[in-house]
Structure formats: structure tokens, C-alpha cells
Chains A and B, each alone.
Chain A
Amino acid sequence: MDLDKLQELIRIFEASDLSEIEIEESGRRMRLKKPRPVMSYAGQMIPMQPADARGTQMVLHESVTAVPASAPVRAEKEPEKVITIDSPMVGVLYVAPSPGEPPFVHPGDTVDEGQAVCIVEAMKLMNEVTAKYPCVIVKALVENGEPVEFGQPLFVVRPIEQV
């Protein structure tokens, strides 16, 4: 499963009511799990444990026994940890400085530390969201004009190691 597909899956999973999902594909098994509030005896929603920032834990493990003998011995490269640029505020996301202008960034672009990647509008104020470190934009997670919450992931990025 490639990275794009995996991210798409995580997104769908995040948005769903499912608490756990397990997928097996060509001998590789993957399980996604989020800490869910459980029902108490009183029928009240009780969160059992503090969730991490977005409420999702990724459990990835390769099922060695399920790999057919004919499969290449070299394991595919470690699944990359998903790193995101998150919204610093609640508001409406705009991908370009103003309507009609080209977007700040496209997937595949390399951005520098402090470079603007999008705008979040709150109370008619345009707030630029900037990259905190040099990185490559892998994927945009929010469409132009969509509302965003504080802390919501906006872009999947791959940091560029500083030499």
C-alpha cells in the first residue's frame, strides 16, 4: 500500500465512527485503532484514556507468517510516520492569497521554514499559516474554503533533513 493510499485510509478512518479497522492486502496486515469513549453503566459517554492530538493511534505491523515464500525477502521501506502542518486557529481555509491567484503550494513543492502554505480566516482577518521547518508538501488535506478547527491537520509533509 503506498503512502497516498494509507493517508487516504487514515482520513476516512478518522472521519468514521469505527474504533478499529484491520486490513489485509497481499500478505501485509495493518490495523488502525483509536481510543474511543466507552459506554458506562449509566449510558454516559466516558472517555477511557486521554487521546493524542487527533485521537488516532497507528498500529502497523508486518505479518511475517502470512508473507508468501516467493515474496521478496527485502521488506518494503519502513512506513513513514505521518507528519502534518496543523491549523493554528479555528476559521476558514484558503489555499491562495486571494481568489483567482495561484495556490501558495502544490503537492511536491519544497517549502522553507517560515514560508506561507495557506491562509486561515477568522473574523475577516487573514492569518498566514507557515511551515515550521523546511519540508516537502506531500498532500493537502483540506479543500479551499473549508472550515477548519484548531489543531486540525492541513497538509501532510515530509521534513527535509538539514545537513
Chain B
Amino acid sequence: MFRRILIANRGEIAVRVIRACREMGITSIAVYSSADQESLHASLADESICIGPPSASESYLHMPAIIAAAEICDAQAIHPGYGFLSENPKFASVCRECNINFIGPTPEALALSGDKAACRKKVKAAGVPVVPGSDGIVTDPDDALKLAKEIGFPLLVKASAGGGGKGMRLAHNDVALKNALSMASSEAQSAFGDGGVYLEKFLENARHIEFQILADHHGHIITLGERECSIQRRHQKLIEETPSVRLTYSLRSKMAKAALRAARAINYTNAGTVEFLLTPDNQFYFIEFNARIQVEHPVTEEVTGIDLVKEQIRIASGEALGYSSVAPTGHAIEARVYAEDPEANFAPSPGNVGQCHLPGGPGIRVDTHLFAGYTVPRYYDSLLAKVIARGRNREEAIHRLAGALEEFATEGVKTTARVCARIIRSDRFLRGDLGPDLIEQFVPKSR
């Protein structure tokens, strides 16, 4: 087992990893930018080291700074968290060259999961249904139009190197498709340095269901069940839950098997997530692989009792999984609390938090880096906290979570806690009708 782990991240996920290290008797080393000097992860870790100025590209994304920090602190492994360098195959291979263990998949698996067009091909070849679309990158508009005739509109043009909704365009006809191709491609070029785009049929009213995977280096691979993440805003997840009310026992086991096949197809190791779209007529399609610990991982932890971050560390150190199945019980829902102002079209709301109150009570878990007096820097992601409720059933989890979100209070910054509470208390959410349009009723019109 590792003795010293460097955490190449900030915010709540860095705090989460530090806690796992502490539990396992591992020395945690935090890295921070000069904007995060007063942050919780920097003060909570056993050791901390300043790696650069506020700009992420010069600190949390700057490989030489992180590797140098790992070397001078004698870290044996790096936990990348999510975002930043977590899915960067170059970083994983630099770690390997420097004899530092990257807590995540291999650089090869990362490269494949990051190339969405290539990943789609590989997964399709393994017999997993993928959303109807192009086999790989589309460059010629005439090829795109031909394909559009075959599979029909509406079509999504997606960046192969993409994520977070960037380089994505929806087209309903030939003219729009031509425009969407060039726009998505140039957007992808500027955002990811790779203009490759591919086509996918746009599935209306599809639900977003993902499966958590754990795979060790001894050939064992298991799934820990699904998470439903249909409540999204601007391709950003807001509320996640497990189990999904949409899945029957047989559909769940079919999707779980497909998820395992997809993970095997790209030789995946460590913790990862296979994302599917599920149509109203119960057809499911692979969309992409998330090769990292995910923001919404706590809901799976709450129903399975398995600590995914500890499992990541165990697997990376070479230990075998040691179990072949898990039996989830109860229901868990997570709401993400962002430092954003719902009244101002969800504009980021950085600043000093002042006094704050975090909810508690039975079945409530709050993963956050927030404390009274904390100043939310304007340089990074606005995720402030995750409030997770566990209940014996969905109804209990809903009421616990709604109550907890209504309790959540910060003085100086605006948050999305109340909006999430209203969504969760709505009749539609209670019924489990989580269509993509649900959120629109709760988002105040921008001024």
C-alpha cells in the first residue's frame, strides 16, 4: 500500500480524497494555487505545497508543477480527482515515466475513452448498442448529409475530444447540419485543440443512466449499479439518484452486462462510469465513458456501503477487488449546490461566504470544502457542496434531501440549494418523471 499520496485537485473532491487517505493511514499531500491558500484542502492535508498562481493552467493543470511537487514531497501516487488532469492520458503517462502511480486507468485506456469517436467504434464492435450515427470522424459535409438520410433528423454533431457540452450542435435539417458541422468543429478546435466531430442521432426524451464500474489489475470487474442523472442544466448534472425508477430488474441486468462489456472492450481498470441514454421505449445506447471518479459517486457509496475512493487507491496499489458482487439497499439522491445565482441566469456567485449552516441529521451527508468565512475564488468551478440523502426508499430520501437543502444556508454567496429543493419536492419528481424539460419550470426567466 502507498504511504504518501499527492492529491492533484482542489475543492470538495480533494477533501474527500484526504479523508480516505486519513482513514487508510496514508500521508496526504495537498497542492494548491495561491488563490487557494486559505482553502480547506490545503489546511486539512498532512502536508501542502503551493504550486502556482490562481490560473488553473499555471497550477492545477500544469503538469511540471504537479510532478515537481510529487517529486519533492516523495509521493508514491497521485490522485487526480475529477476534472483538471484526471482524464489526461499525457499526464498519466508522465506519471508512469516518473515512477509515480496514477490512481486511475492506464494512459492507453484514457486515450481511448477520451477519443469519443474511436471509443464508440470499439464499444460497438464489442456488441454494445451505440446511438445510431457515424462510424468515426466526419469531415465531408456530403458524407454527413448522406448519413442524415439514413438515420434521420434530428442529429447531434459532437466533438470527438469533447465534454461538458462544448463542441456540440443540434441540427434538424440539411442546412442546419452543414452549419452545425463547421461550427461544432471550430468550437472543438478552439476548446480542445482537435476539430474532429462525429454524428449521433438526437434521442428525444431520453433518460441519462450510467453504471459505476470497478476493475482491478487481476482481471476482476464488477458493476455497482446505476445512477440516473437526467436532471441537468446546460449539460451539467444537478440531481442524481440511485436506483433509477425507470429500470426494471431485467432491464437493469441487461444494461449492467452491456456496461461490463464496454469496459472490457477498452481494457478499463480502476473506477469508471459507462453512460447510456435510455429511450421511452426502453432502448438503451452507449454514449461515453467517464474515466475517473465522478462527482455523483456518493449516491452509489450510500446504497452499496463501498467507499469508491478507497477502492480506487486499493486497486491502484495492486490489490485485488476481493468481492464479485454488491447488493445495494435503499435509495440515495444527491443535489449539487453551486455558488450560482438562480435569479441571474445562474451566473457564478463568488465571494466571501460569511456565516454558513450545513444540514445534518439521519441519512444526510454533505461533501464540501465550505466553512464559515471561506471565500469562493472566481477562478474555478462553482461547485460548493454536494448534499446526499439516503433513505429506506425513494420517498424517504426525497423528504430528507429536500429538508436538508432548505436548511442549507450561506450568507455572502448565492447558491442553487433552494432551486434543487423545489425540483425535488415537485409532483413530477415525486412521480419519477424526470424528463429533460422538468428543470425549465424551476429556472427563473433571466432578467
Write the residues of chain A forming the contact surface with B, with a CB cutoff of 8 angstroms: 37, 40, 44-48, 50-51, 53, 89-92, 121-123, 125, 147, 149-152
* Chain B interface residue count, Cβ-Cβ cutoff 8 angstroms: 28
| Known contacts A50-B38, A147-B72; A122 and B65 CB within 8 A of each other | yes
8 contacts between A and B (CB under 8 A): A40-B372, A48-B373, A50-B375, A51-B37, A89-B64, A122-B64, A147-B72, A150-B52
| Identity of the chain A residue whose Cβ is nearest the Cβ of B51 in the assembled complex | A90
How distant is the Cα of A151 from the Cα of B69 in the complex, in angstroms?
14
Cβ–Cβ contact A90 & B52, under 8 A: yes
Q: Which of chain B's residues have a CB closer than 8 A to the CB of A149? A: 49-51
Cβ–Cβ contact A90 & B72, under 8 A: yes
| Known contacts A123-B67, A147-B72, A150-B53; A44 and B371 CB within 8 A of each other | yes
Chain A min CB distance to B190 (Å): 27
Chain B min CB distance to A142 (Å): 12
Cβ–Cβ contact A123 & B63, under 8 A: yes
How distant is the Cα of A45 from the Cα of B375 in the complex, in angstroms?
14
How distant is the Cα of A22 from the Cα of B287 in the complex, in angstroms?
65
How distant is the Cα of A83 from the Cα of B98 in the complex, in angstroms?
36
A-B pairs, 10 with minimum CB distance = A147-B72, A122-B68, A123-B64, A122-B64, A149-B50, A47-B38, A91-B68, A150-B50, A90-B51, A123-B67
Write the residues of chain B forming the contact surface with A, with a CB cutoff of 8 angstroms: 31, 33-34, 37-38, 43-44, 49-53, 59, 63-65, 67-69, 71-73, 94, 98, 371-373, 375
A90's partner among B37, B68, B98 (CB-CB below 8 A) is B68
Chain B min CB distance to A120 (Å): 8
Q: Which of chain B's residues have a CB closer than 8 A to the CB of A44? A: 371
Q: Which of chain A's residues have a CB closer than 8 A to the CB of B33? A: 150
Cβ–Cβ contact B372 & A90, under 8 A: no
How distant is the Cα of A123 from the Cα of B375 in the complex, in angstroms?
32
Chain B min CB distance to A94 (Å): 13
| Known contacts A44-B371, A51-B37, A89-B68; A37 and B52 CB within 8 A of each other | no
Q: Which of chain A's residues have a CB closer than 8 A to the CB of B37? A: 51
Chain B min CB distance to A37 (Å): 7
How distant is the Cα of A44 from the Cα of B374 in the complex, in angstroms?
12
| Known contacts A46-B371, A90-B65, A92-B72; A151 and B50 CB within 8 A of each other | yes
Chain A min CB distance to B336 (Å): 23
| Identity of the chain B residue whose Cβ is nearest the Cβ of A89 in the assembled complex | B65
Q: Which of chain A's residues have a CB closer than 8 A to the CB of B43? A: 37, 45, 47
Q: Which of chain B's residues have a CB closer than 8 A to the CB of A147? A: 72-73
Cβ–Cβ contact A123 & B373, under 8 A: no
Chain B min CB distance to A26 (Å): 37
Q: Which of chain A's residues have a CB closer than 8 A to the CB of B375? A: 50
How distant is the Cα of A105 from the Cα of B375 in the complex, in angstroms?
40
Q: Max chain B CB contacts within 10 Å: which of A51, A89, A152?
A: A89
Cβ–Cβ contact B72 & A91, under 8 A: yes
| Identity of the chain A residue whose Cβ is nearest the Cβ of B53 in the assembled complex | A150
| Known contacts A46-B371, A46-B373, A123-B64; A51 and B38 CB within 8 A of each other | yes
Chain A min CB distance to B354 (Å): 12
Q: Max chain B CB contacts within 10 Å: which of A47, A50, A90, A91?
A: A90
Chain B min CB distance to A85 (Å): 16
| Identity of the chain B residue whose Cβ is nearest the Cβ of A120 in the assembled complex | B68
| Identity of the chain B residue whose Cβ is nearest the Cβ of A35 in the assembled complex | B38
Cβ–Cβ contact A150 & B65, under 8 A: yes
How distant is the Cα of A130 from the Cα of B307 in the complex, in angstroms?
47
Q: Which of chain B's residues have a CB closer than 8 A to the CB of A91? A: 64-65, 68, 72
Chain B min CB distance to A82 (Å): 19
How distant is the Cα of A152 from the Cα of B34 in the complex, in angstroms?
11
Chain A min CB distance to B31 (Å): 8
Q: Which of chain B's residues have a CB closer than 8 A to the CB of A151? A: 34, 50
| Known contacts A37-B43, A150-B50; A90 and B373 CB within 8 A of each other | no
Q: Which of chain A's residues have a CB closer than 8 A to the CB of B94? A: 123
Cβ–Cβ contact A121 & B372, under 8 A: no
Q: Which of chain B's residues have a CB closer than 8 A to the CB of A125? A: 64
Q: Which of chain B's residues have a CB closer than 8 A to the CB of A123? A: 63-64, 67-68, 71, 94, 98
Cβ–Cβ contact A150 & B51, under 8 A: yes
B373's partner among A47, A122, A150 (CB-CB below 8 A) is A47
Q: Which of chain B's residues have a CB closer than 8 A to the CB of A53? A: 34
| Identity of the chain A residue whose Cβ is nearest the Cβ of B73 in the assembled complex | A147
Q: Which of chain A's residues have a CB closer than 8 A to the CB of B72? A: 90-92, 147
Cβ–Cβ contact B371 & A121, under 8 A: no
How distant is the Cα of A37 from the Cα of B374 in the complex, in angstroms?
12
